[in-house]
């Protein structure tokens, strides 16, 4: 959901603050695969149908979407209030993001996918839209076709998602620090700074 980008910004703010007082700290952000709707058909489904079934009623959907829109607008994050369109199965997208990590472009591709879906209302089950996203990220289109046969990478994505479930992940955002501490849900920068301090105290 678009709020992942909002809370990623809170994490980035915390990293910037931390770097001012600890310039030698090495802090890297790594995207992990986790599907909110793993049982969705590979081709996806109508978004209104999906949202209504998931949240119980169209009224609840509208309330939730408006809340997300308000938060997104407060941070100048583009968000399309109209929710008609297509809900994709995101497994292949996660696999492409994992492949993009090999080029140091996983964050770039992730944010492009977020924008295409939440701000532009694009169908991320559409091969042309996915290829367009790869080109924008500077990734070869060949990766789209070869990844479907890359059984090792696909298995890595499945194992990563399973590991998330074992950690208790049921929603996003969800942050894991040094494979030791987990922070779930909407958090502000101060909490991330506390985690950094805790990790430092355990090393020293």
pLDDT in tens, the chain (204 residues): 556 777 888 899 999 999 999 999 999 988 899 998 899 999 999 998 998 998 899 889 888 888 888 877 777 777 776 767 899 999 999 999 999 999 999 999 999 999 999 888 899 999 999 999 999 999 999 999 999 999 999 999 999 999 988 888 888 888 989 988 888 877 788 999 999 999 999 886
pLDDT at residue 204, as a whole number:
66
Q: Which residues pair with 13 in a beta bridge?
A: none
What is the b/e burial string over 158-189, where b = at least 16 CB atoms within 10 angstroms of the residue's CB? beebeebeeeebeeebbbbeeeeeebeeebeb
Cβ count near 194 (within 10 Å): 14
Phi (first) and psi of residue 44, to 5 degrees: 80, -165
- Of 96, 157, 150, 154, which is closest to residue 125 (Cα–Cα)? 96
Contact 142, 149 (CB under 8 A): no
Q: How far apart are CA 136 and CA 138, in angstroms?
A: 5
Proportion of the chain in helix, strand, coil states, percent, rounded to 5: 60, 5, 35
Kindly report the pTM of this predicted structure: 0.86
pLDDT at residue 70, as a whole number:
84
Q: Which domain covers residue 86, as residue numbers?
A: 3-203
Furthest CA-CA distance within the chain: 53
Domains in the chain, number: 1
In this structure, what token pair is assigned to residue 4? 């992942």
Phi (first) and psi of residue 87, to 5 degrees: -100, 115
In this structure, what token pair is assigned to residue 99? 């492949």
- Of 167, 188, 189, 168, which is closest to residue 179 (Cα–Cα)? 167
pLDDT at residue 152, as a whole number:
96
Q: Which runs of consecutive H residues, i.e. helices, occur in 56-150?
A: 58-74, 91-101, 106-114, 127-137, 142-147
pLDDT at residue 7, as a whole number:
80
Cβ count near 49 (within 10 Å): 10
In this structure, what token pair is assigned to residue 196? 């950094």
CATH number at residue 180: 3.40.30.10
């Amino acid at each position: 959901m678009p709020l992942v980008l909002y809370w990623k910004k809170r994490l980035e703010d915390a990293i910037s603050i931390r770097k001012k007082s600890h310039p030698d700290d090495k802090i890297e952000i790594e995207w992990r695969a986790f599907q909110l709707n793993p049982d969705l058909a590979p081709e996806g489904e109508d978004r209104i149908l999906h949202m209504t079934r998931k949240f119980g009623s169209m009224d609840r959907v509208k309330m939730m979407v408006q809340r997300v829109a308000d938060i997104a607008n407060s941070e100048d994050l583009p968000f399309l209030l109209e929710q008609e369109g297509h809900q994709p199965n995101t497994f292949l997208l996660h696999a492409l993001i994992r492949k993009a990590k090999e080029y140091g472009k996983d964050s770039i591709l992730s944010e492009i996918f977020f924008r295409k879906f939440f701000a532009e209302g694009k169908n991320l089950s559409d091969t042309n839209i996915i290829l367009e996203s790869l080109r924008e990220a500077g990734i070869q289109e060949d990766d789209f076709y070869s990844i479907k046969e890359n059984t090792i990478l696909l298995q890595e994505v499945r194992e990563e998602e399973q590991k998330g479930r074992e950690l208790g992940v049921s929603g996003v955002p969800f942050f894991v620090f040094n494979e030791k501490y987990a922070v779930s849900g909407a958090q502000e920068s101060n909490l991330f700074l506390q985690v950094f301090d805790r990790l430092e105290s355990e090393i020293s």
